[in-house]
Amino acid sequence: MRSKNPEGFAALLDAAFVEIEANAVYDKAAAVKGVGDFDFTKFELSEWKSAKLDNDAALVTYLIKPTDPKLDQERHTSIWANRNGKWLALLHMGTPVAKPKAEMKHDMKM
């Protein structure tokens, strides 16, 4: 994705791929177009975790942290499936990370 290779990205997506983001739901064609319009060099990916659902399916999560501190971090989750020996993404979802609220001070007089 950092190399802006939409064909390479498309090859990793199942034909029925769906992406759910805060602003819209995208099919495979729209997701591939979106990758071409996005500058991934301005984000750091970390906190990778995976869970095997069975021998042919897995859930992957990670944190996206923008280099611009004014932008929100996001948690991303993908479901991957082994299709005839090739792992393809079926579903991807991005969720903004809520900023911590200021702690409320309580006056506890008894």
What are the φ and ψ backbone dihedral angles of 21, each rounded to 5 degrees? Answer: -125, 170
Contact (Cβ atoms closer than 8 angstroms) between residue 28 and residue 89: no
Mean pLDDT across the chain = 88
pLDDT means over runs of 10, the chain (110 residues): 77 97 93 83 93 97 92 94 97 88 55
Say what the pLDDT of residue 82 is. 97
Per-residue confidence (pLDDT) for residue 2, from 0 to 100: 60
Q: Return the ∠ at Cα 36 (arms to 60 and 72), rounded to 5°.
A: 55
Q: State how far the Cα of 87 lies from the Cα of 90, in Å rounded to an integer.
A: 10
The model's pLDDT over 49-81, given as tens digits with 9 standing for 90+, comes to 999 999 999 999 999 999 998 888 999 999 999
Q: CB of 45 within 8 A of CB of 24?
A: no
